Structure 1
Amino acid sequence: MLSNDMPLTDITLKKLQPFDRPYKRADQNGLYILVKPNGSKHWHLKYRFNNKEKLMSYGPYPLISLKEAREKRDRDRRLLLEGMDPATVKKERKRAAEVEARGRFDVLAAELLEKNRLEGRAEQTVKKKAWLLDMANKDLAGRPVMEISATEVLAVLKRQERAGNLETASRLRTTIGEVFRYAIASGITTNDPTIPLKGALARKRVRSRAAITDKDRLGELMAAIDTYGGYRVVALGLKLLALLHVRPGELRLAEWKEFSLDDARWTIPSERMKMRNEHIAPLPRQAIAILQELKAYSHPDALVLPSQSLKIKPLSENTFNQALRKMGFGKEEMTAHGFRATFSTFANESGYWNPDAIEKALAHVEGNEVRRAYARSVFWDERVKMAQWWADELVELQRVAMEGGG
């Protein structure tokens, strides 16, 4: 029961004994203490706001003393006089404290990385982002994102620009912006200071990856690959790159379980694709023959293109380009990635194929999901024919080159 006869004292509070049911003892102006059967005592304030009875909890006695409980009561009664609900104000204070604790740049950067991992982003992508965020943390760690200005971020970026790392500076701006957009979505800030920095950095001159688009020279390249004297898996891998025009990383990490030679198709899992969408590539006869040969170099449950030194590891990132250099094709003429541009050029210039089918073959992702599904189904038969046409073209160009252009 509540009693308003006398205000509470510390002596009274200490003497309060538990009963088999909870009971209340009033202090003044809505403040009371609740005594529970287990002997615990908790402070509460009963008040009315907008004609509704409401309750505030102040914590346990004696951790919260009588004096402290009254101070909290008086603070909340002042809020009521100003037309504010103490419960709402308490929630806002709690949220502000959480934001302050969580709202540091380095904390949010770590959360963003974990989010990327949970989303299944490629390990290499997460590693690169972590490297960039470590760079940003040297200046921004410990700083509340709400207080970080565009000028402060620009100073971080300019350090990379002055060192000549223009691409790094650009990527760093994008990655820092991701942290701020994550903070905005989390309700921690409303501003992304990287937005006004667009155009503030020197731009790196973009160069297309070198690719051969001359028929004679392409024939010479295919002949050089066929007679390559190094590790046979490298030559076979280069042939597959030429035939299948996939990204080098997609091929280097390929596993046998992804291939169905009976169905003449290769299903590249989404986690290895640039745009995080599964890609199915039709296999021409020549590609199937190469894959059959590759079986002698690896285990059926392992990588298709194993490293020569350690079979459980893939070929290194630079292996294909190094082989091209040994064959006499410089970096300004051809790269491993350039096989994609080579195929695109010849396929588009032939006039035989629907440009959308060519784009689908290159795994250039259509933004609209319905259109993407439509393209996959409608262009499959055309892509199968196009894959065999391209393989036959390469064989013929190689034959001409090896016969001296006759």
Structure 2
Amino acid sequence: MALTDVGVRNAKPTGKLYRLFDERGMYLEVSATGGKWWRFKYRFGGKEKRLSLGVYPDVGLKDARARRDEARKLLAKNIDPGIERKVQKAATVERAANSFEAVAREWFARQAPGWATSHADKIMGRLENDVFPWLGGRAIAEIKAPEVLAVLRRVEARGALDTAHRVHQNCGQVFRYAVATGRAERDISSDLRGALPPARHTHFASVTEPAEVASLLRALDGFQGTFVVQCALRLAPLLFVRPGELRTAEWTQFDLDKAQWRYTVSKTKTEHLVPLSTQAVATLRELHALTGQRQYVFPGRDVKKPMSGAAINAALRRMGFDTKTEITGHGFRAMARTILHEQLRFPSEVIEHQLAHRVADALGTAYNRTRFIDDRVVMMQRWADYLDRLKAGAEVIEMNSATG
């Protein structure tokens, strides 16, 4: 007789395995402890075989019969349902391994060691927030350009056009990696060039007029916060390194007797040398008395960690500056680049090397930490002297070249 829901539900353990048979080869197997499994017995190629149809009560009687019927349909086509299940399972595993998310995370794992942590976090954040929820589970080879465009449109619709362009770029990198590793035929994101409106790039807020720089410097000197942040504010315009490199500076990187700071550039992972002006050395010696026994030049509240990434901008806001329109910690770089070239007449290549930018020369050298070092030593001292004169209220007009 065919099984019933009540009969299945009331099947009790007897201390040994037994079976309750349904129709067309299906039966319920009840273990000695009461576990219940649906089975389907069939013959294929002259051999008797069994196929699991699921566990009761997760799979009810009706669903178990539906699974049995699907298996019988395969048998009618001369397909072994047990082999077919293994094939489908392998395909599912392969699809999961070749999904957009799996490929993207593999690409990221290979690339991230060469990136700054902040840069890596931004890329993974974009993928996790804006791409994976919609494309992550799809086999990367099956994704079409309109699907990627839909992802980009969602980002654009919330007013983040620049982010949409960056998402497009990251998707392209993932697709090209998939092509290189044999999991996609082509980078379909390339079909979307021009699909988004051009992004309007904005630069970090900065002050580049000498009179305004003078007011800024006097305000920095008057900051009433902690001595550590005071020193960071005094050094930021003198050194004009990236804010993250300043706040994570370690005492072991400095040779104050030689007036040098050597560190690895966070963005390019290249070694960099910053010549220190006498003013910078004086500030660092003052600070060394307080933090010199610590790892970080600018320790945070937890002295085992560096100062917060928001500390400089927070201090600027406390002094009344708008960090969106007037000045940011990163804006000191633009300030130095502009005035060093336009007012102090230093050559662009000398300035760019001091900024640790990759600027290829005629020989193809992208960056060398000691290139133009003599000129850079002169430049950094003249820059510090120039700022001192500005702060003192002098009308400074410099027309000499770096070597004049």
- TM-score by shorter chain over 0.5: yes
- State the TM-score, normalizing by the size of structure 1: 0.70
Instruction: In structure 2, give the amino acid aligned to 1:328.
Output: G
- The alpha-carbon deviation at position 303 of structure 1 amounts to 0.9
Residue in structure 2 matched with residue 103 of structure 1 by the alignment: 98
Q: 1:326 aligns with which of 314, 318, 324?
A: 318
Query: Does the aligned pair in 2 maintain the 1:297–1:306 contact within 8 Å?
Result: no
> Aligned to 1:213, what secondary structure does the other structure show?
coil
Instruction: In structure 2, give the amino acid aligned to 1:281.
Output: V
Determine whether 1:133 maps to 2:127. yes
Query: Does the aligned pair in 1 maintain the 2:356–2:367 contact within 8 Å?
Result: no
Counterparts of residues 4-403 of structure 1 (less than 5 Å): 100=95, 102-117=97-112, 119-135=113-129, 136-270=131-265, 272=266, 274-307=267-300, 309-331=301-323, 332-350=325-343, 352-367=345-360, 371-372=364-365, 376-400=369-393
> Aligned to 1:279, what secondary structure does the other structure show?
strand
- The alpha-carbon deviation at position 313 of structure 1 amounts to 2.3
Separation in 1, partners of 2:186, 2:275: 47
Query: Does the aligned pair in 1 maintain the 2:273–2:370 contact within 8 Å?
Result: no
> Aligned to 1:267, what secondary structure does the other structure show?
strand
Instruction: In structure 2, give the amino acid aligned to 1:325.
Output: R
Separation in 1, partners of 2:140, 2:219: 55
Deviations 1:214-236 (A, max 9, x none): 21221121111112111121121
Separation in 1, partners of 2:367, 2:184: 40
Q: Percent identity?
A: 40
Alpha-carbon RMSD: 2.7
Deviations 1:300-349 (A, max 9, x none): 34111112x22222222222122122223223122211111111111111
- The alpha-carbon deviation at position 199 of structure 1 amounts to 2.3
Q: Mind listing any 5+ residue stretches in structure 1 that lack a counterpart?
A: 1-64, 68-95, 402-406
Separation in 1, partners of 2:304, 2:193: 44
User: In 2 relative to 1, CA 302–377 (structure 1 residues): closer, same or farther, beyond 3 Å?
Assistant: closer
Separation in 1, partners of 2:337, 2:390: 16
Q: State the aligned residue count.
A: 307
Instruction: In structure 1, give the amino acid aligned to 2:123.
Output: K
Separation in 2, partners of 1:399, 1:382: 26
- The alpha-carbon deviation at position 113 of structure 1 amounts to 1.9
Deviations 1:154-207 (A, max 9, x none): 111111111222222222111111111111111222311211222212344322
> Aligned to 1:266, what secondary structure does the other structure show?
strand
Separation in 1, partners of 2:246, 2:349: 23
Separation in 1, partners of 2:215, 2:367: 38
> Aligned to 1:194, what secondary structure does the other structure show?
helix
